[in-house]
Structure 1
Amino acid sequence: MKAVILAGGLGTRLSEETNNKPKPMVEIGGKPILWHIMNIYSAQGINEFIIALGYKGETIKEYFLNFYSINNDISIDLSSGETTIHGNKQPHWKVHLIDTGLHTQTGGRLKRLRSWLKDEETFLFTYGDGVSDIDINASIAFHRSHGKLATVTTVKSPARFGRIGFEGEKIREFYEKPQEAEGWINGGYFVLSPKVIDYIEGDETPWEREPVERLARDGELMGFRHYGFWSCMDTLREKISLEELWNNGSAPWKIW
């Protein structure tokens, strides 16, 4: 099973960090938050990733092209140019780095990946700025049990994130960012059928708006409730909070 990770946005609310790098490359504990997200999946058996690039995508490409040297000790013989990599700190990941456009919206990025997902029965989908101790395999099992097109992991968070209205486990209403709301919200970890791509009109379509709202209206969106840890990294304050958890050895999302 493949996991799609959106990594192309401008990250304007974290401009202190994103002027020179894309948000998924902002570091927590010396590692890009993208690395943390991939480890969350990998710890649960998901090792193939499609990274949807956009803003400063070359930075992410350079990171993975140099992954071995960045994450291991190396010796370089300057007389011959021979390089030896020491240690065995490489994960068994297959990573596809796909340019999905500089200004493409979240839904548009997913639509541009249709050819990469055409042979998949189910795939995973998330953003490049959120960490959680979510049970990925439990969310997959839940998705398969209900037979609908889409499952979103829902979490509890303050009102500014929007609201999800439940009817049992079926999502009745999906409001991305209403003025006043509190309760269950979009935690950003989806399990999807490739058929959801038909709900996306084009590059200008945000995934969180019309496609997800239509899926909810059609009765095709179910919510997997996660009661554990979840945090996004939208602001410098949130980045600092995650950094403190990591440095204190108490990061709940470190399940590997």
Structure 2
Amino acid sequence: MKVVILAGGFGTRISEETILKPKPMIEIGDKPILWHIMNLYSSYGFHDFIICLGYKGDQIKKYFSDYFLSHADVTFHLQEQKISIHQQNVEPWNVTLVDTGLHTMTGGRIKRIQKYIGNNPFMVTYGDGLSDINIQQLVDTHRTHGKIATVTAVQPVGRFGNLNISEDGSVSEFVEKPKGDGQWVNGGFFVMQPEFFDYLAGDDVVLEKEPLETLSENGQLVAYKHSGFWQPMDTLRDKNHLSELWNSNQAPWKKEIDQSE
């Protein structure tokens, strides 16, 4: 099953970084967040990726065009104009990079890559969010219910602490970062049947509007509830938080890839 990653937006809410690079190339630790997302899927055996490019997409193309050599020991035979590869340690990925337009909306980007999917189920996620979601369980859930689409539902951590205050004014409980108000929100990590393309009319279609709303009205959208870690990288503060988790070896999304597959 192929994994489609939406990586073409402008990332205006984290413009401190995106003025120079596309949002998916912002580094968490020493790796772009795009690499972290792909590593998560690959740890569950999903190695085929289609990346929807847009804003500064040439930087993502260059990253992958240089990827093999940058992760290998090499000898350059200058007179013979040859390169000898001695050792390489790269992931077992097949990566298709597609220019889906500078101003194309999220649904439109997915529509543009239809020819690379064919008549097969596929997954979709955003190029700016990390989670410890069990991808295999997500796929199994989708296969079980038989509907057109599955969306991962999450409860984001509250931005401010909660205080439980007694009548006399004393604080009986303080929770620094509680879960949200009980509402589930779209956390990305979709699984789609190929029929989903019929709900995408063109470049101006926003994935989160007409397509998903129509599927919901038709009883064709099912939620996979994920109660574990989930964190989008919307702001510089989010980026710094994710980097701190990674650098301190406390990243919940960190997974090892089985290179023998």
**TM over 0.5: same fold?**
yes
Instruction: State the Cα distance separating 1:83 from its structure 2 match.
Output: 3.1
Which amino acid is the alignment partner of residue 183 of structure 2? G
In structure 2, distance between residues paired with 1:249 and 1:73: 27
CA contact (8 A) 1:157 1:182 kept: no
Larger-gyration structure (1/2): 2
* C-alpha distance 181-99 of structure 1, shift in aligned 2 (>3 A): farther
Q: How many residues align structurally?
A: 236
Which amino acid is the alignment partner of residue 131 of structure 2? S
RMSD over aligned Cα, in angstroms? 1.7
Partner of residue 188, structure 1? 188
1:52 to 2:52 alignment: yes
Partner of residue 241, structure 1? 241
1:188-207 maps to which residues of 2 (within 5 A)? Answer: 188-207=188-207
Question: Mind listing any 5+ residue stretches in structure 2 that lack a counterpart?
Answer: 160-179, 257-261
CA contact (8 A) 1:152 1:222 kept: yes
In structure 1, distance between residues paired with 2:69 and 2:95: 17
Q: In structure 1, the residue corresponding to 2:190 is in which secondary structure?
A: strand
In structure 2, distance between residues paired with 1:82 and 1:31: 29
1:119 to 2:119 alignment: yes
Partner of residue 138, structure 2? 139
Partner of residue 252, structure 2? 252
CA contact (8 A) 1:140 1:191 kept: yes
In structure 1, distance between residues paired with 2:110 and 2:183: 27
CA contact (8 A) 1:158 1:183 kept: no
Instruction: State the Cα distance separating 1:210 from its structure 2 match.
Output: 1.2
1:152 to 2:124 alignment: no
In structure 1, distance between residues paired with 2:55 and 2:37: 19
What do the CA deviations read for 1:46-92 (whole angstroms, capped 9, x no partner)? 01001111111111111111101223344434454433444331111
* C-alpha distance 9-75 of structure 1, shift in aligned 2 (>3 A): same
Which amino acid is the alignment partner of residue 96 of structure 2? H
Partner of residue 127, structure 2? 128
Counting aligned pairs with the same residue, the percent is 53
* C-alpha distance 240-82 of structure 1, shift in aligned 2 (>3 A): same
In structure 2, distance between residues paired with 1:112 and 1:217: 25
Q: In structure 2, the residue corresponding to 1:46 is in which secondary structure?
A: coil
In structure 2, distance between residues paired with 1:38 and 1:66: 17
What do the CA deviations read for 1:87-114 (whole angstroms, capped 9, x no partner)? 3311111111111001000000001111
Which amino acid is the alignment partner of residue 116 of structure 2? W
What do the CA deviations read for 1:26-46 (whole angstroms, capped 9, x no partner)? 111111111110000000010
**TM-score w.r.t. length of structure 2:** 0.86
In structure 1, distance between residues paired with 2:182 and 2:238: 19
Question: Mind listing any 5+ residue stretches in structure 1 that lack a counterpart?
Answer: 161-179
**TM-score w.r.t. length of structure 1:** 0.87
